[in-house]
Amino acid sequence: MTNYIENESRRNFMKVLAGVGAGIAFSGTLGSFVSKAKATSTTGSSIEAGIAYPLSTGFDPSTSSGASSFAANMHFFEGLVDLHPATREPYLALAAKEPEQVDDITWRVTLRDGATFHDGTPVTTEDIVYSYQRILDPKNASLFIQFIPFIDSVNALDDKVVEFKLKYPFSLFKLRLGIVKIVPKHVIEAVGQTVFDANPVGSGPYKFVSAVKDDRIVFAAHNAYNGPYPARVEKMTWFLLSDDAARTAAQESGRTQAMESVPYLDVSRLKRKSAVESVQSFGLLFLMFNCKKAPFNNPKVRQALHYALDTQKLIDIVFLGNAKAATSYTQDTHPDYVKASTQYDYNPEKATALLKEAGLNKLEFQLLSTDHSWIKECAPLVLESWNKIPGVKVTLQHLQSGALYGGYVDKGNYEVVMAPGDPSVFSNDLDLLLSWWYRGDVWPKKRFGWSDTPEYAKLQLLLDDAIKAKQPSDAKAAWTQAINLIAEQVPLYPILHRKLPTAWNNKSLDGFQPIPTTGLSFIGVGRK
């Protein structure tokens, strides 16, 4: 049975949604469970899929951020509440019922009866507490600590109920429960984090069988799973096919039943044998500047390079229309979208004027970018736009993501970076999307070097005001100011938001839906 959210009234829901979006709308009530999942198949059926990214991290959900491992973890692990990968609707996972609010800063969550890990042991409230403490302990340097800074403590009241104490009232509490995936304390303490990272044990509908870098990830049904989305096939194999031609050939030949990241040039051809849909995503192509290095510490220079980009040409030639030029920090389909006060329409004359205002007659630098195939197609057009500006000369170097960040960005050894990003895989609420790049030490301090500016300090206050606001209108006002500030300063800002083409065989898959993030989801999906 699947519990979806139903607010107390349609009218109240629309008021909240209009004010601050789906995130705060979620802080209403969770409705009755509606049966949507089907029983686990006993026919020995399997699903094969083509994945676009190699394994770049392990599977420990407290540290994993790689695209492929994160997508796999949606099938291996559960939170107390999870977001459906396709619909983005929150539903009860390991929570048995709607979290209970005791007071402004106290919440209680009841564990689902009969939940078991893949090793057959029961999920306990001790495991829940342990999973949160792993994230909250600064010594573990978890990437996800920045998403739950409002949690003060987590304690088991008994073998069924866990109590959360918050540092301050937080309107998105229920939604953020999906950030932390529950892991078995006894397994990690027995084998250690390194072994667990390579051989994960969760409570989700599928259990881990094996993984080989640049080859495949193999899943098997967790037949003891009693949650809302049981496995509908006995086995899954994800082929890690980063080469576009190989991934497309696998789908055309029937080796795979679904593939992510359909090459834009191949969409029409694949439609002959597969269903193909392009879903608008938050996923963006961004420019990031080293704000500690002159002249990129001057916002006029950063603005000039945005104005100098012929973004529509990128969209037409590289994406074949499968993207939208950024008019804000979020895509225009996001529930909290607000058009930014600064718009970077193609304007080379304005770019030239801004460089002169910054005192520059000459600007020479190297653009570093990732080596994703579509990024490689974008880069020459970006250089073409920039090098048309009088006095501007830009060269290019492509690097694998790990080498780019580890060897250059994290050492401050760069000037301008062009890369993709999409934190909406973690959650779709605006606070998280903004916090990913504009809070904490990793991005604003270590990577783009903007954290010692007065504008950064002002942004933190605005983000705090938004998330602590008691009225939706106040939250919206603070978020609007924050987005306008970011759009004006552009230390890191989107060029465009991608549409993600996914292909699947609708004659062989039942219940499949494309998702608005990297990866594929087979939650609730079976074979026909």
The position carrying tokens 């459906």 is 84
Cα–Cα dist 201/70, whole Å: 14
Long-range Cβ contacts of 408-412 (<8 Å, 24+ apart): 408/368, 409/288, 409/368, 409/447, 410/446, 410/447, 412/290, 412/292, 412/293, 412/449
Q: Cα(68)–Cα(287) distance, rounded to whole angstroms?
A: 24
Question: How large is the angle between the packed helices 472-489 and 430-438, nearest 10 degrees?
Answer: 30
pLDDT digit of tens for each residue in the chain (528 aa)? Answer: 344 333 333 233 233 223 333 333 333 334 333 334 444 444 559 999 999 988 888 999 999 988 899 999 999 999 999 999 998 889 999 999 999 999 999 999 999 999 999 999 999 999 999 999 999 999 988 888 989 999 999 999 999 999 999 999 998 999 999 999 999 999 999 999 999 999 999 999 999 999 999 999 999 999 999 999 999 999 999 999 999 999 999 999 999 999 999 999 999 999 999 999 999 999 999 999 999 999 999 999 999 999 999 999 999 999 999 999 999 999 999 989 999 999 999 999 999 999 999 999 999 999 999 998 889 999 999 999 999 999 999 999 999 988 999 999 999 999 999 999 999 988 899 999 999 999 988 899 999 999 999 999 999 999 999 998 888 899 999 999 999 999 999 999 999 999 999 999 999 999 999 999 999 999 999 999
Cα(84)–Cα(500) distance, integer angstroms = 17
Q: Which residues are within 8 A (CB) of 215 and not within 5 positions of it... i.e. 6 or more apart?
A: 239, 240
The pTM assigned to this predicted structure is 0.84
Lookup: tokens for 465: 């005001």
Question: CA dist 502 to 102, 252, 267, 364, 444, Å?
Answer: 43, 13, 9, 39, 33
Q: 240: helix, coil or strand?
A: strand
The CATH code of domain 281-499 reads 3.10.105.10
